[in-house]
Amino acid sequence: MRLHNSELEQGLPAGLRNRSHPSLRAVLPLLCGFVAAFALFAAAGIARADEASGTWTGNVETRGNYYLERSTRVMMPAVRVNVETPNGIRARASYVLDVIASASIAQTGGAKDGVFTELRHGIGQMALGKKIDTGNAEIDLAVHGTYSTEDDYKSLTYGIVGSAAVNEKNTTVTLGVTRVDDTVESNIDRTFRGQLGALSFGLGLSQLLSPVLKFDVGYQLQYLEGFLGNPYRRALVGARPRAGSDKLMGGLPKPEDPPDSRWRHNLEGALSWYLPASATTFQLYLRGYTDSWGIQALTPEPRVYQQLGNNLVVRARYRFYTQTRADFAPEDGQTAYPVDYMGPLTSDPKMVRFQSHQVGLRLTYQFAFLTGWLRGLRDVAMDANLDRGWTTSSFDNYWVGSIGGRVAF
């Protein structure tokens, strides 16, 4: 379980803040492994394509993801394999390694400051599906499952998804049910053990409106029950107004204690419009969210995709996010609860009112021009993505970057 340092630093002396970042030497072998894995899979993809009889198709994807804020770095190399057989059976498997390097007192019990590196393994993100084509319609059924583990958190996610393309495949309806079973532990208190269960139901609709216009809409209902807090976080309770100010000061730290259930509603839609004359796609994404904790959020995100020449695609986007405060979070502008407060407790920065802005650029290059003995690499696509985010929450401004490659076979 990761706890962002920015939320911990609020109560720290200045001398403990802005610590230098941990060395990247610890994760360099992972980067090397990522590059080697991509080379290996690329070679495998080429070999398969050469010997293929035109019956099996698929691809191999590898990604190196990177997240950076003032005191936390996350590196997440990942690999995924997709295969589809001639009779429409699809199989997918992926592996994700989450490397979190953070300067934090969280995992040392608050007694001392410390730099820690934590690993999370996302194992066997498996999916198995089957397409049934009846001519004018197509039905697709799939099951999926993921197991992830770290030293203080275990998670099992599994579910089933079905879709039907009807109306001469102009309309695709998707239904899905997903179950999450998590076990939460604490590196500070070895006797602590929390359970979190979630059930999610999703409904999606994709509609072709014209040869250049498509609309997608989706609704997700989710119910969570169990331990919904963080065993490392502490909320300040019993604070009193500072003289001459409304700001509450002082208070005693108590373990976070949010409600033990939560209903979440998520409604999202996207309109995509392609302009053949300039090879440009405009996309507008909009999402509305509300839950039983009183949080309401809104996320508009316009995107532009531009084809440049035969091999290069540039994607530019802007994302805005705004949310209201959870009912039981400290009042706006406060970081502690007053003396007479008796309700649920949280010190989670995600529970307060805030806004964020994010801009990003992504380049995708297809090596379709290759000939001769390099012809096998024509199906290789590489992409690089860089985003910058600004936020009014106590989380810091951030960078998100990734480099990825896909080999089709």
Partner 1 sequence: MFHRSMVLSALLACVSVSAIGCSHVKPYEREYMTRPGMESESEEFGQEFEAHVQNSREGAPGRGSVVGGGCGCN
C-alpha R_g of the chain: 24
What does residue 350 show for φ and ψ, rounded to 5 degrees? -75, -10
Q: Which C-beta is closer to partner 1: that of 104 or that of 236?
A: 104
Residue 404 interacts with partner 1 (CB under 8 A)? Answer: yes
Q: Which C-beta is closer to partner 1: that of 312 or that of 339?
A: 312
Please, which of residues 117-146 interact with partner 1 by CB under 8 A?
120, 122, 146
Please, which of residues 144-203 interact with partner 1 by CB under 8 A?
146, 148, 150, 152-155, 157, 167-171, 178, 180, 182, 184, 196, 198, 200
Please, which of residues 279-338 interact with partner 1 by CB under 8 A?
279, 281-283, 285-291, 293, 295-299, 303-305, 307, 313, 315, 321-324, 326
Span near partner 1 by CB under 8 A; candidates 43-51, 227-235, 335-343, 368-376: 227-235
The type of residue at 147 is: Y
Q: Which C-beta is closer to partner 1: that of 169 or that of 378?
A: 169
Residue 254 interacts with partner 1 (CB under 8 A)? Answer: no
Residue 409 interacts with partner 1 (CB under 8 A)? Answer: no
Please, which of residues 343-402 interact with partner 1 by CB under 8 A?
349-351, 356, 364, 381, 383, 385, 387, 391, 393, 395, 398, 400, 402
CA 125 to CA 263: how far, in whole Å? 26
CA 264 to CA 242: how far, in whole Å? 37
Nearest distance in Å: CB 209, partner 1? 5
Nearest to 180 by CA among 204, 206, 214, 154: 154
Nearest distance in Å: CB 36, partner 1? 19
Q: Which C-beta is closer to partner 1: that of 116 or that of 215?
A: 215
Sign (positive or negative) of CA dihedral 145, 150, 154, 155: negative
Q: Which C-beta is closer to partner 1: that of 220 or that of 241?
A: 220
Please, which of residues 75-94 interact with partner 1 by CB under 8 A?
76, 78, 80, 94
Q: Which C-beta is closer to partner 1: that of 305 or that of 337?
A: 305
Q: Are 162 and 129 in contact (CB under 8 A)?
A: no
